[in-house]
Amino acid sequence: MLLKSMSVAAIAAAGIVVGAVASTSPARAQDVQAELIGLHQLCDRGDRKACVKFGMILGRMQERHAEWRRAHPEWFWWER
């Protein structure tokens, strides 16, 4: 009986953790996009470090490229 209770508690805890991780993903994506917007603005003003960081984030987040190309075509000026 104790084993069954512990199993149920472990499954419930795992469900809570998975739910918490899944619910933070869209917020993280919005944070990244906001960071990219800020870095792009700094890069446009001549901040080379911001340009490098901007490019690194774009390169790391390739799964979002299609979405960002539609929303921010100015970020991908070299592809026009």
Question: 18-48 pLDDT, tens per residue?
Answer: 554 444 455 666 788 899 999 999 999 999 9
Does the global pTM surpass 0.75?
A: no
pLDDT at residue number 50? 94
Q: What range defines the domain where residue 43 resides?
A: 2-79
In this predicted model, which residue has the larger pLDDT, 5 or 28? Answer: 28
Q: Give the number of domains in the chain.
A: 1
Find the mean pLDDT for residues 7-23: 51
How big is the chain, counted in residues? 80
What is the overall mean pLDDT for the chain? 75
Question: For residue 60, is pLDDT > 70?
Answer: yes
- Least Cα distance to 72 among 42, 49, 51, 41 occurs for 41
